[in-house]
Chains A and B, each alone.
Chain A
Amino acid sequence: MTTHPAGSLLAAHELRKAYGPTTALDGAEFSIHPGEVVAVMGPSGSGKSTLLHCLAGIVPPDSGSITYNGQEMATMSDAQRSALRRSEFGFVFQFGQLVPELTCVENVALPLRLNGTHRKEAERAALTWMQRLEVDDLAKKRPGEVSGGQGQRVAVARSLVTNPRVLFADEPTGALDSLNGERVMELLTEAARSTNAAVVLVTHEARVAAYSDREIVVRDGKSKDMERVV
């Protein structure tokens, strides 16, 4: 395997990460191209979430390299990685991500505001994304007042509002029913494709993974790119 697969936007090589005595990643590989949707699959506890956290620069790996756009992320400071997350990456989690006190539009505008965008402007941009995800009518409501599916769409809008180049989604439909889950996946992949963003999609559901272009299987901290095996 090569260290940097040609043309990849984000690539990881030989990633190792342990939490205390538990090994989460044990030589994992990864690469993704712009506009590509890659599903990360595997049984629970296999290390797929840890892989996502490492790729996104949320936790530094114990060893191995992660390159984003040609830059080595493993050696970046926490502040640099945070800045990268703010400006280049977007995030959708299973739950617990919307700030309950802020209204939906304020939640969507939050990443822009963290980047220093003025409030009015940020909320205008937020509203356009909420329209695309068909939740603009919820703008003034608080997360506690909307349904799970609606809340997740708001979260997707928030993850896309900064026009990220990589979108990280960790079980984005985990808390939703089939219909809502599918709708969220459709909107998410469509929006990502239209902006040429790469999507790292952690899921254990095949029907969700079916929205990807290819999948990577993580087992016992090792990853396997199914495209290359077959």
Chain B
Amino acid sequence: MRMKFSQILISFIITLALLIGLEIVTSTILPALGWKEYRLTFNVLIILFLAIRMDSPLVPWLILGLQMIHSIFSIEGWALGTLAGLIVMMSANYLKEVLHLTTAFMTMLTVQLFQVIWYVTVTLVICLKISDFDKFGLILWSFIPGSILLSLISPVLFWMLGLIWRVPSEGGSRGVEI
């Protein structure tokens, strides 16, 4: 299935709005309710959806756009996540024959696997930037609880994003070509 540019634009704007809503939940509502220790990094989940389920030359630019919005809510900035997103996207391309997100469990498992790739990349770059590899394990470990929660949420969010991007829920990993 091929999407028109106008459809892509609309889907992307809806995705950005969803990301802003979820970022506000993570940065304001959950801390206000006392949940401060672990963050649910929804930008990772949305980018994983695009990286795993979409097959398009535009995906890198969509990732960049999403990360620009994420940088409003985090000093992490846009660049780190963009690089991690690209690496995840390329890994997903190599593994596309074995990726079948047909059940909720498979979705969770796949999301957890790609989150590990994402966080290893991010942690490596942070350690390089701060010139301190002693903290590698500590930083990586800080991602784990949040990433497990995200994996549990992923089937629901992937279903919602599937509706936004008109990706069929069954039939292999690559839904839409744009």
- Decide if A and B are genuine partners: no
User: Which residues of A are in contact with B by a Cβ distance under 8 Å?
Assistant: none
